[in-house]
Chain A
Amino acid sequence: MGRWWIPAAGALALVSVLLGAMVGPAGPTWWRVPLALLDHLPLVSLDSGVTSREWTIIWDIRMPRVVLASLVGSMLSLSGASYQGVFRNPLVDPYLLGVAAGAGLGATLVFTLNRTGSSTWIIDPLPLSAFVGGLLAVLVTYVVGTAFGGQKSASTLVLAGVAVTALATAIQTFVLQRHTDVVRQVYSWILGRLSSATWGDVRLVLPYVVVSSAVLFMHRRLLDIMRVGDDEATALGASVNRVRIIVVIAATLGTSAVVAVSGLIGFVGIIVPHAVRLLAGASYRVIVPLSLLMGASFLIIADIPGRVLQNPSETPIGVVTAFLGAPFFLLLLRTKQGTR
């Protein structure tokens, strides 16, 4: 039974990618899009009837956001699932240890220091600074949390994350108060965005997502052992703290990278892993690959209504994920309660 979920989720992801490439306010009629994509495969030649401008829309506007949505969605879901595993806390999301607040502070600093735009820079400083901010925040959380943690390091770490988040948010508020002219840019970044995705963004996050996912993938059996509790897992031969550190580092690295390019997209990291658990069971051998695939599908699909609802404007992706995600999640929870 369980093994059917993975091919099914894979198929759903493929369908999502196709849907993502087909829907939008401009571009060719929807059925021409798959033909055009096939036509551009090596050794395939088809008459798709798509003009070069339409192909630009498909390939340079829609595909980067579809691919980026899949990377961001799968990374956030996977990180969320892993954090929930190592902290044995179902409410944990990938922003727990201060990534979001740190990245937000980093982004705010770039906007205030670089008001003329980033055209003179070789590398776009915005994702870089958000990435560094996110990593630094988690590093501080980690140092503080383990310095005083002792045996209870898991909960101390979470509390340290809360403190670091509050501190970084306070600094961000102070900086914004002194630079009110950038409030609009920062606000738009915080809402999260996939609409401005380019292939450059995809290239930027791809290595981090691949490495982080691979590390988390390799730890899926150890995450299962962690479920029984620190003492029992140690008795079973797992070095609990080492696993926790590695998983946290990998999840943070991936999360920081995706937050840096897409802003804060909420809810994905909590909803998708829980939906997966409710559907396919609690074993991380299934949760890890399923979170990856379902996270990708969820965010690609959530990105679609935003393009057409308020045409010619975009609805922020963070609004759509919460709007679709919250009722869906409540429905799942209710169903779960009913079957207890």
Chain B
Amino acid sequence: MSKKSIRQFRGVTRRTFLAVGASALLFAACGNSGQSAADTVAEASSDTAVPEVSTNKIVSLSATATEMLYAIGAQDQLVAVDNYSNYPEAAASFENKIDASQPSAEAIAALDATVVLLAYDPGNLQTQLEALGITVWTGAAATSFDDSYKQITELGELTGKSTEAEALVASMKSDIETAVSSMELPDAPVSYFYELDNTYFSVTSNTFVGQIMSQFMLQNIADTAEAGNDYPQLSQEAIISANPQLVFLADTKCCQQDAQSVAARPGWNKIDAVAKGNVVELDDDVASRWGPRVVDLVKQVAAAVAKFVETSKK
């Protein structure tokens, strides 16, 4: 490079740097104009001294916790939900949506939140929130009905809706009991395959879903797949040779699977469940959450088993 060209080149890059610097300043300006507006709102609300009736401002980063809050009638305390919170309808159309895998403690503080509900902590979120004086409640994925009831009860206490929470738990318990006891269970264990996605990931009986299935005399073909792994991936060969009598699809939303597409898979028409029309289409969300809609899942499984018992008698 000649000296002149070096000078020219440096001039260009210097301008580039100036441009980068200027855009950084712009970002700064944007960030702060939004923030001062939020400040004014915050100041105004603290001036008016709201009485002590449910002053909770809850951010739910767990779709299950969101469903629980709506079910116990505490939804008016919500100020933001995560992007997986799509039930009930009102939660789905919530204005403030946060990506639960990349939440920002500062943004949660900007919403003036007092309580944050988590299913898991993606990093040091709990530490950061607690430093800001925000209460953190964690409701990890339930492994039993009792886990789920316990979380509902805790949320009831947290939101001042204990009575509603107790009523909800009681009705869930009785609904589930009725669903199981009111039907004729099969005489012998019925084998089933539970499909999490269309690459044949499944669950074992140790999981929450697996426990629900076990109540209906169902036997999981994935139980012996991989020791120590409750979410094993099965091969098509293993599934076809295990010949399950029932197939549950928990991938109708994620992967657009249904009874028809399963029947179209090569070799699958040899499976009992497929040949006899015992492929059950579940709602992915209902099947993967541990909130009040567990009852719906239990009822759907009960109906499928009842249908199986009915048809096998003929």
Binding site for B on A (CB under 8 A): 12, 15-16, 19, 22-30, 53, 56-57, 60-62, 116-117, 177-181, 184-185, 187-188, 191, 193, 195-198, 200-201, 275, 278-279, 301, 304-305, 307-308, 310-316, 328, 331-332, 335-336, 338-340
Residues of A within 8 A of B50 (CB): none
The interface size of chain B toward A, counting residues with CB under 8 Å, comes to 59
CA A60 to CA B133, docked complex, whole Å: 12
Let me know if A26 and B35 touch, CB within 8 A: yes
Residues of A within 8 A of B16 (CB): 328, 331-332
Let me know if A198 and B124 touch, CB within 8 A: yes
Binding site for A on B (CB under 8 A): 1, 5-6, 8-10, 12-13, 16, 20-21, 24-25, 27-28, 30-32, 34-36, 38-39, 80, 83, 96-99, 101-111, 120-125, 127-128, 131-133, 140, 196, 201, 226, 229, 231-233
Let me know if A185 and B120 touch, CB within 8 A: yes
Let me know if A304 and B27 touch, CB within 8 A: yes
Contact of A198 with B121 at beta-carbon distance under 8 Å, contacts A311-B34, A314-B104 already known:
no
Most chain B CB neighbours (cut-off 10 Å) among A26, A30, A338? A26
Residues of B within 8 A of A57 (CB): 106, 109, 132
Let me know if A340 and B27 touch, CB within 8 A: no
Contact of A61 with B128 at beta-carbon distance under 8 Å, contacts A30-B28, A312-B104 already known:
yes
**20 further interface pairs, Cβ-Cβ under 8 Å (given A178-B233, A339-B1, A339-B5):** A23-B28, A26-B107, A53-B109, A61-B106, A61-B132, A62-B106, A179-B229, A180-B201, A180-B231, A188-B122, A188-B123, A196-B125, A201-B124, A301-B20, A308-B31, A312-B111, A313-B97, A313-B99, A313-B103, A338-B9
Residues of B within 8 A of A22 (CB): 28, 31-32
Let me know if B231 and A26 touch, CB within 8 A: no
CA A190 to CA B103, docked complex, whole Å: 16
Partner of B104, one of A184, A301, A313: A313
> In chain A, what residue has the closest Cβ to B196?
A180
The smallest C-beta distance from A49 to any residue of chain B, in angstroms, reads 11
Let me know if B121 and A23 touch, CB within 8 A: no
Residues of B within 8 A of A331 (CB): 16
Residues of B within 8 A of A179 (CB): 229, 231
25 contacts across the A-B interface (CB closer than 8 A): A22-B31, A22-B32, A26-B38, A26-B110, A56-B132, A60-B128, A60-B131, A117-B121, A180-B201, A185-B120, A188-B122, A196-B105, A196-B122, A196-B128, A198-B124, A278-B13, A310-B102, A311-B107, A312-B80, A312-B104, A313-B103, A314-B107, A332-B13, A336-B9, A338-B9
Residues of A within 8 A of B8 (CB): 339
Let me know if B123 and A195 touch, CB within 8 A: yes
Let me know if B123 and A193 touch, CB within 8 A: yes
The smallest C-beta distance from B9 to any residue of chain A, in angstroms, reads 4
Let me know if B13 and A335 touch, CB within 8 A: yes
CA A266 to CA B266, docked complex, whole Å: 42
Residues of B within 8 A of A30 (CB): 28, 31-32, 35
Let me know if B107 and A25 touch, CB within 8 A: yes
Contact of A339 with B125 at beta-carbon distance under 8 Å, contacts A25-B107, A26-B110, A305-B27 already known:
no
Let me know if B104 and A307 touch, CB within 8 A: yes
Contact of A187 with B101 at beta-carbon distance under 8 Å, contacts A26-B38, A30-B28, A301-B24 already known:
yes
Residues of B within 8 A of A181 (CB): 231
Residues of A within 8 A of B13 (CB): 275, 278-279, 332, 335
Let me know if A24 and B102 touch, CB within 8 A: no
Partner of A28, one of B39, B123, B233: B39
Let me know if B34 and A308 touch, CB within 8 A: yes
Partner of B36, one of A29, A200, A340: A29
Let me know if B103 and A314 touch, CB within 8 A: yes
CA A117 to CA B8, docked complex, whole Å: 55
> In chain A, what residue has the closest Cβ to B128?
A61
Partner of B124, one of A15, A29, A196, A314: A196
Let me know if B102 and A316 touch, CB within 8 A: yes
The smallest C-beta distance from B8 to any residue of chain A, in angstroms, reads 6
Residues of B within 8 A of A185 (CB): 120, 122
Contact of A24 with B31 at beta-carbon distance under 8 Å, contacts A61-B106, A312-B98 already known:
yes
CA A56 to CA B129, docked complex, whole Å: 10
> In chain A, what residue has the closest Cβ to B16?
A331
CA A195 to CA B111, docked complex, whole Å: 17
Residues of B within 8 A of A336 (CB): 9
Let me know if B20 and A328 touch, CB within 8 A: yes
Contact of A195 with B104 at beta-carbon distance under 8 Å, contacts A23-B31, A25-B35 already known:
yes
Residues of B within 8 A of A178 (CB): 226, 229, 232-233
Let me know if B39 and A308 touch, CB within 8 A: no
Let me know if B226 and A24 touch, CB within 8 A: no
